[in-house]
A and B are shown apart, each in its own frame.
Chain A
């Protein structure tokens, strides 16, 4: 939990959001150059969600999400070099080049993926929470999914078991308004996704996902509920994705004006910067941070591009773990 007016911790949140933004911009650039292949789903616009949630996360709490996962990895402390190297399919990537954008993991940072099948991570997240309860370790699993995934049946199977067994899991819905190209009002019978736990007796709350402090506050409440042994909690983060669903998205389903309007009024990074200026940080500080972040990202890109491809002998490795 962020202490009020704690400038140092606020600055840390700002840096993390900026790192994600600049990293994703670089990834988009490398994709355009053909250095990243396949699917690549950028997190630009949604940075406040993962950074706000992680401000509450304790060492040992798990994080699991879908394929729009770069932000989650950077936020939880994974090395930008390893993430970028994986995006470019190199042997120094987190999955040794075998996972790519959608499938990255880090046991040491308690990041459990990176899952490519819409909603499949949700019962898995409930299972990580099940392991926490089994081991009585007080940890919480933060399980993310999108508004598109919210209509998958296995989520409600997971809700039922999570509530029945009082599992310490926070279900975080990143409602970025569009499931690929289908807006929420064209896909969901009710847009109030945070109420979907009612049938399972799971409390839910709608949160301004563009405001990192609001996200942090709501997550604190939900996580304490879990740690008290009261079972799961749902947080619907109202957010917005600036870029296409993936890199090949023609974005015909929304207007440029709609996107521009959100960028102008709701941008999580710009608004937080204004907030910090009001709190007394001076502009030079931001220039310094900007430079620092650019360097980290550019080093990550250089590292990725210079890394070698996986050895062909790796093709047959890691299919099974030896006894």
Chain B
């Protein structure tokens, strides 16, 4: 850390990198504490960043418009006689990494691996792909509209709906009051009235306020009306743990919703799946729960080339073919599994990775066929361990392909505790690649 530099600040709990949307100072300026230095584009919004000290701007280290600058990367060289540090939210890990590089050129970090493969490929983040899916479906069908808290003028609490208000106007991109139970019921009524609402929950934690309308109205009305009245609604938003937002804002509801007949439940990992499945969800005549993940919105492992295809709801995807162990996972579980599989390669274990993508209906057949081949299975997900999707799959596997198993199925989940706030405790409560790797060794009797 050099006190003659101002570093890229972390301006949200999940921000790992940011961009300089606009410099508000130039080299040679003398500024006071509280003066604005730049507009910084975070993973959630464009925010004004102010100086914490009186100083002179000696040099701007990155150009305006540069993106993907890691948190704690120096962005301004300053001349000051004071000592206060410019950023409050220091991330020790990044600090360590950046120690050796005085100035990094952030451009080199952009989608490093994927872009090397093919310069012409269009790689999108999950966030961008969801926005594109919404925009395309709204263009195709004027009865599709988006409603939720801060989806319009604020441009989305997580920037997912960025730009949609400009294109579609306030009739179709609707800011709601903070009133989940009310607006979910209202959207269900709009669906019965012939529209196709997409409801954004700022996070699925707040969907609990609306649970009665989701379960008792959206899921059941078709059945209770003898097939007369369907509810074509998509309820979407981030689900699962973010980063240090503690117990009330960190939980994966996939198994809750997946247990309800009448709902369809999707939890995508990759950007391409998110887009293709959201488009299918909006076109589906049934209520669909679309569980996104805040960490994956901007995550490189989930960013992908977009193939512009509709992906059918209820089809799993074999992400990696393998012969020794099947890992059945979904959502952010895939990210952790991919890292564990890298570790397994070093000890020559071949893992088959299946992304369920949809939790209702579940693609049992793809799971069973994989187990017939590998004879071993680990399930990986972020939810609580009791009544997890893995629990359900274990029972189904026993009933259907028991004779093919060489070892008991292992369920890998989050821990059976409310999410703690402290960073170390939070990490301990979540699934990790190391834990999954341990289970891989255990299920193959190598532990």
Find out whether the CB atom of B195 lies under 8 angstroms from the CB atom of A99. Answer: no
CB of A176, distance to nearest CB on chain B (Å): 23
Q: Verify if A262 is at the interface (C-beta below 8 Å from B).
A: no
In the complex, residue of chain A having the shortest beta-carbon distance to the beta carbon of B194: A131
Known A128-B192, A130-B193, A160-B177; judge A120-B217 contact (CB<8 A).
yes
Whole-angstrom distance between the Cβ of A190 and the nearest chain B Cβ: 22
In the complex the two chains form, is B217's CB within 8 Å of A115's CB? yes
A95 touches B (CB below 8 Å): yes
In B142-194, the 8 Å CB interface with A consists of 145, 171, 176-177, 179, 181-194
Closest approach, in angstroms, between the C-beta of B26 and any C-beta of chain A?
A: 45
A95 and B225 alpha carbons, distance in the complex (Å): 4
B224 touches A123 (CB 8 A): no
Which of B145, B228, B261 contacts A134, CB < 8 Å? B145
Instruction: Please indicate the chain A residues that have their CB under 8 angstroms from the CB of B195 in the complex.
Output: 130-131, 134-135
Judge whether A319 and B261 touch: CB under 8 Å. Answer: yes
Minimum CB distance partner of B171 in chain A: A134
A123 near B227: Cβ-Cβ < 8 Å? no
Shortest CB-to-CB span from A303 to chain B, Å, is 16
- Nearest neighbor of A130 in chain B, beta-carbon distance: B190
**A residues in contact with B4, CB < 8 Å:** none
Beyond A128-B192, A134-B190, is A158–B228 a contact (Cβ under 8 Å)? Answer: no
Tally of chain A residues near chain B (CB < 8 A): 49
How many of chain B's residues have a CB under 8 angstroms from any CB in A? 41
Known: A123-B181, A123-B182. A323 touches B189 (CB 8 A): no
Q: Which of B182, B193, B217 contacts A161 (CB 8 A)?
A: B182
Docked pose: A131 CA to B233 CA in angstroms? 13
Instruction: Chain B residues near A95: list those with CB within 8 A.
Output: 224-226, 228
Name the interface residues of B176-229: CB closer than 8 Å to any CB of A.
Answer: 176-177, 179, 181-195, 212-213, 216-217, 221-229
List of A residues within 8 angstroms of B127 by Cβ? none
Q: Does B240 make an interface contact (CB < 8 A)?
A: no
Which of A7-15, A101-109, A247-255, A271-279 forms part of the interface with chain B? A101-109
Closest B residue to A132 by beta carbon equals: B193
- Residue pairs across A and B with CB atoms within 8 Å: the count is 151
Asked if A203 CB lies within 8 Å of chain B CBs, one says no
Name the contact of A124 in the complex, choosing from B186, B194, B224, B283 (C-beta under 8 A): B186
Contact of A52 with B by CB under 8 A = no
Instruction: Name the CB-closest residue of A to B195.
Output: A131
Q: CB distance B229 to A107 under 8 Å? A: yes
**A123–B183 CB distance below 8 A:** yes
Contacts of B192 in A (CB 8 A): 112, 124, 127-128, 131
Q: B188 touching A127 by the CB < 8 A rule? A: yes
Point out the residues of chain A lying under 8 angstroms from B65, CB to CB.
Answer: none
Chain A residues numbered 144-174 whose CB sits less than 8 Å from any CB in chain B: 153-154, 157-158, 160-161, 164
Q: What B residues does A127 contact at CB under 8 A?
A: 185-193
Q: Is the CB of B182 within 8 A of A158?
A: yes
Are A323 and B226 CB-contacts (below 8 A) given A123-B186, A127-B193?
no
Asked if residues A107 and B212 are in contact (CB atoms below 8 Å), the reply is: no
B179-A131 in contact (CB<8A): no
Residues of chain A within 8 A of B145, CB atoms compared: 134
B35 touches A (CB below 8 Å)? no
Residues of A within 8 A of B189 (CB): 64, 112, 123-131, 141
The listed residue with most A CB atoms (<10 A of its CB), out of B171, B179, B216, is: B179
Q: Select A158's contact among B185, B194, B286, beta carbons within 8 Å.
A: B185
Q: Are A106 and B226 in contact (CB under 8 A)?
A: no
Task: Check if A321 is an interface residue, CB within 8 A of chain B.
Answer: yes
Are A124 and B229 in contact (CB-based, < 8 A)? no
Contact A99 B226 (CB under 8 A): yes
* Bound CA span A114–B216, Å: 12
Q: Chain A residues near B222 (CB, 8 Å)? A: 318-321
In the complex the two chains form, what is the Cα distance from A160 to B177 in whole Å? 8
Q: Does A62 contact B182, Cβ atoms closer than 8 Å? A: no
B262 near A: Cβ within 8 Å? yes
Contacts of A131 in B (CB 8 A): 189-190, 192-195
- Could you tell me if B225 and A103 are in contact, using CB atoms closer than 8 angstroms? yes
- Per-residue CB proximity of A69-108 to B under 8 Å, as 1/0? 0000000000000000000000001111111000111110
Q: Which residues of B contact A (CB under 8 A)?
A: 145, 171, 176-177, 179, 181-195, 212-213, 216-217, 221-230, 261-262, 264, 283-286
17 contacts between A and B (CB under 8 A): A99-B225, A103-B225, A112-B189, A113-B229, A116-B216, A123-B181, A130-B186, A130-B195, A134-B145, A134-B190, A158-B182, A161-B176, A161-B179, A318-B226, A320-B262, A321-B285, A321-B286
| Extra A-B contacts (6), CB below 8 Å, given A126-B189, A317-B227, A320-B286 | A99-B226, A123-B183, A135-B194, A153-B181, A157-B179, A161-B182
